[in-house]
Structure 1
């Protein structure tokens, strides 16, 4: 039997590949936007998201292993999946629509979904909930950064 963490990791990787929907034309739009002076950590963002996704896989694996195959577990896996889809959709959709407002809305939806997920996971495993903290800390930072980009680039809001 294939270990659950491999299956959960493979699903996560497959969904994350959705970020390849970004076209060079879309990237050029984003690259020309003015950025806040304090945005010095931008080169670290891919590493930050890698840590967040790995933590999410570990969290989902713990939840799955605690209550194999129950309806609640399947519903939680669907919620993990929803959070990941919203997260991965943020960049391609924002770039495709060339709208920072769309990105900000997706960031807020992702944050709310992440908080709901953490609340639902808490009774099952404190560790699984702690592993969601990187997402819950980073998502407001990303959403705030998008809001700052909107203020610096009102023509692209």
Structure 2
């Protein structure tokens, strides 16, 4: 039995954990966040780490599945590049929303994050249908997060 999966899986797990830890470090649920008016349909706090853990695990599986199924080195490089861009946008949203306390800027940025997930679904899905499907919960969750973000802007703006 081949062990060719060990290195890509290890790299994907380390990358996903790194993005998750960086995002968690930037996320500040302190007095500023608690003082914001939020819509009544905001999920309870414990839902967020469960959702993000699940999403990062599925995204890591999608990355490995796509990378291993990619028909060329160039295609594998695109997989890595698209996931790296997505990771950057994911962390940037937390930075804008929580650290800079700019939900208005974060909302504009979450649209880019959403598009990067859609791009991942399309690109990865062309290489591996399973990989594309594994990314659908990520798109759904960020859609909810974008709607929440917009409501925070509407209920609390202007910012700055």
Is the structural similarity TM-score above 0.5? yes
* Matched residue, 1:57: 60
1:31 corresponding residue in structure 2 = 34
The range that moved more, 5-14 or 68-77, is 68-77
Aligned match for 1:22, one of 26, 30, 43? 26
Structure 1: which 5+ residue stretches go unaligned? none
Question: Structure 2: any 5+ residue segments left out of the alignment?
Answer: none
CA-to-partner distance for each residue in 1:22-79, whole Å, 9 max, x for gaps? 376x732112101111214443011101111000000001011113761111111110
C-alpha distance in 2 between matches for 1:36 and 1:23: 19
Residue of structure 1 equivalent to 2:8 = 4
Aligned partner of 2:128 in structure 1 is 125
**Structure-to-structure mapping, 1:55-134, within 5 angstroms:** 55-67=58-70, 70-134=73-137
My pick for the range that moved more, 54-63 or 2-11, is 2-11
Q: Distance in 2 between matches of 1:67 and 1:121?
A: 9
1:149 maps to what in 2?
A: 152
RMSD value over aligned CA atoms?
2.1
Deviations 1:88-146 (A, max 9, x none): 22122222221111211221111011111111112211000000001111111100100
Structure 1 stretches of 4+ with a deviation exceeding 4 A read none
Q: How far apart, CA to CA, are the structure 2 residues paired with 1:94 and 1:102?
A: 7
TM-score computed with the length of structure 2 as normaliser? 0.87
**Normalized against structure 1, the TM-score is what?**
0.88
Shift of 1:20: 4.8
